[in-house]
Structure 1
Amino acid sequence: MLDGQKVRARPGETVLSVAKRHGIEIPALCHHDSISDYGACRLCVVEAFWGKGSKLVTSCIYTPWQDERIETNNQRVGRARKMVLELLLARCPEVEEIRDLAREYGVIEPRFRGRPHESETERCILCGLCVRVCAEVVGQSAIGYANRGLDRVISTPFGAQADECIGCGACVFVCPTGALHYEDIDGCRIMKELNTRVPMVACRCCGKFFATEAQIAKVRQRLKLPDELADTCPRCRGTEFRGTLEKCLVSRS
């Protein structure tokens, strides 16, 4: 039972996934459909009932049992989410996504005070999406966790330039709070939060920098791209293809 509805979970399916299939919204900041779940943000808690007992579980990693009853938005769940949001708001008061969620749960001002923010990385909620996308999807494992407790951060090994980083920007794309950024400056992709600079490739047709050298090398390795495609930006590649197609059509006519 899920919020009073009789539902059937697929083998190994999580409560969060079942809820999504049935149109039930559960807030989650550390979840992405393409990445394994970790249960880091604790915002997706729901209450699981069996027999005379119940407990709060993280829906993104919890697989339901047969005949188990799940409630996704009762008073106990609401109180737990409100507490999580108060803590997140104290840590990241400028993050709009967190402020919006906090308002939904009646949190206007947090009861707790965070430390003064010194950098953009203070927007980080340690959800681990960037670490997991780099390892699981990109296959580079260029970033990870460093330190413990209040000093825990996302970082490259020893805080130095990571040779494994290809500058693809996947970590920036999945970050739910905008803690990571990159800039393309003077032929380099710069990720200042991760102390990383990656050289870029200029398009042989238009001269614009469009990807990093490491990105192109990885794509060429996987797709066996010829040189003329590897060093051409997508826009110019499309123009060249159309030109070649037109020549073929003219020659046939």
Structure 2
Amino acid sequence: MEEFINVFINIIVPLISGLVFFALAKYVKHIGPLRHFTAGKETYDHAFWGFITFGIYLASRPLQILLGPHPVPLIVNNIREFFMIGIFAPSIFIAIYGLAYGGENIKKWMRWVIYGICILLAMVFVFINIRAIGGAEEIFRIANYPAYDGMWFKNMTPERAKLMAVLFVCRVTSPVLVLAIGATIALSRAFHYPQERKKLYSNMPKKLILTGIGTYLFSISMLTVGFVWLLGKIPNQWWGYYVGALLAGFFESWSISLPVRKEEI
């Protein structure tokens, strides 16, 4: 039973979560050309790459633990974190902004600033992560095949604790804070959506609310996992933000599937 739980949490849940966002990316690719007139091509392009990179981040958890001992978990983790911090978060932020205000209002400087900050944070994370990890350990077995993961929280020294704090700050900034700001933009725009645009795109406030809720859910889930470690010293509760990702995927799917205009009866 314990083996099944380990496989379910570490392999099945990440794969399902990743597939949800790959499906969202595929749907965005399909629906994007039909909705360029409402939110702009750039909005849907950023949403596509945001969902793709997040799907990669989620679904590659099994690779991190199944490909071998140290330094393999570290290498895979660094690639995954770079995708999430440096590409996923700014892509979704830009996509939300475009959905709220139109793709034509996505300024070039905005893209440079948000991607620049997030990619810099991703690079800092990768560099510090190499120094912060304490090796790898076997976490469970599938029959006789061992699964390994990095030792970020064991044998903690004062120096490594400081490095872990830097990793925490990087993640809190991107994706947590970046996505929270994006969600706030979505909700604010929904509650103050211009009446003249609402006549044309009557479902947009609802779409923005659903997008905001979904984005907040993932952001809050990741922040909660961080504080569980910071305040309760309970490590490796990363499954919490996989649950958050699944909930976010539900609300994002709901939002994307809605037409921009309510059907007239």
TM-score, normalization by structure 2: 0.25
Higher relative contact order (CA closer than 8 Å, sequence separation 6+): 2
Structure with the larger strand share: 1
Indicate the structure (1 or 2) with the bigger Cα radius of gyration: 1
